[in-house]
Amino acid sequence: MLLYDILNLLLKESTIIANSVNINYSTLEFLSRFKIHFIIVLSAKSSIKELKILHKLAISGTVTSYRLSQELGIPSATSWRLLKKLCKEGYVRKEDKGFSITPKGLFILYKTYKDEKVRKTVVKRLKEFWEYDGEIEDIYAILDDISKLIDNNKIEIKTLCFNLPVSLIGFLLPLSHELSERSKRVLAYYITKTFPTVNITPYCKGVISFDEKGIPYAIAVNCKMEGLKMNHYCEVIQKLFTKNKLE
């Protein structure tokens, strides 16, 4: 529920109570606003604790609820409740010997923290999770681009699955024109590893399609000369498919 909706709900509640028990409406309006303030403060404190938990999991790996409560100085019941909440939201997963952070949890940590040490830890962990063989700067780039798309309401974080990077392709491919070249490199890497490719040359392979004009191009290509590219047009592809068509 949005804050605006909560405010309206509480003000309606105040009006009903004021009419039924003959209490001054301005007094109840003040109390309603105090309740809103209390909700915001309570939510903020909870969010800070959740981020501390995610940070600890990112650094330490699998950790028990009890150990988290001891190291973060929070009650055991609070630690357990927040961990279960984070599991439900997909930021944490339950393991045999405790809890661990998920790739989605790592992304939230990256998006929220501006501290370079925290971000470096997150990027390193995600690179390992995703088994990405490229440069670590590419991971920084795609995380920054995803953050911008979320902030600009182009995509919603609740719809994204970070466990497998290939699952991000469906959401990011239509918005590839808004991605940096490094981010496109990450997409091209997973597209060429996941989908059937065509050997364009002995040193170049790509996932081939045709544009609206019927011209062949590579949705993604891994080329010794060009590197990893998205939406790649070249004469070799056109000649290859023209030749095959004639034959």
> Where are the domains positioned within the chain?
3-101, 105-193, 195-247
- How far apart CA 171 and CA 146 sit, in angstroms, is 10
CA gap 112, 124 in Å, rounded: 17
pLDDT of residue 68: 93
Give the per-residue pLDDT at 18.
Answer: 41
What was the pLDDT predicted at 56? 92
CA distance readout (Å), 17 to 8, 11, 37, 246? 14, 10, 20, 82
What local confidence, expressed as pLDDT, does residue 112 receive?
87
Give average pLDDT by consecutive 10-residue segment, the chain, 247 residues: 44 45 45 41 59 90 93 92 92 92 93 89 94 95 95 89 87 92 95 91 90 89 88 86 56
Residue type, 67: R
Count of CA atoms in the C-beta half-sphere (13 A) of 36: 19
pLDDT value of residue 166: 85
Structure tokens at 162: 């970070």
The Cα–Cα gap between 169 and 156 comes to: 14
- Give the C-alpha separation, 107 to 122, whole Å: 7
3-state SS class at 115:
coil
What fold is seen in the domain 3-101? Answer: Arc Repressor Mutant, subunit A (1.10.10)
Interatomic CA distance for residues 120 and 114, integer angstroms: 10
**Would you state the torsion angle of the CA atoms of residues 86, 8, 37, 56, taken in this order, to the nearest 10 degrees?**
10
The per-residue pLDDT for 11 is 45
pLDDT tens across 164-186, in order? 888 888 899 899 999 999 999 99
CA distances from 57 to 52, 101, 120, 160, 210 (A): 9, 6, 14, 21, 45
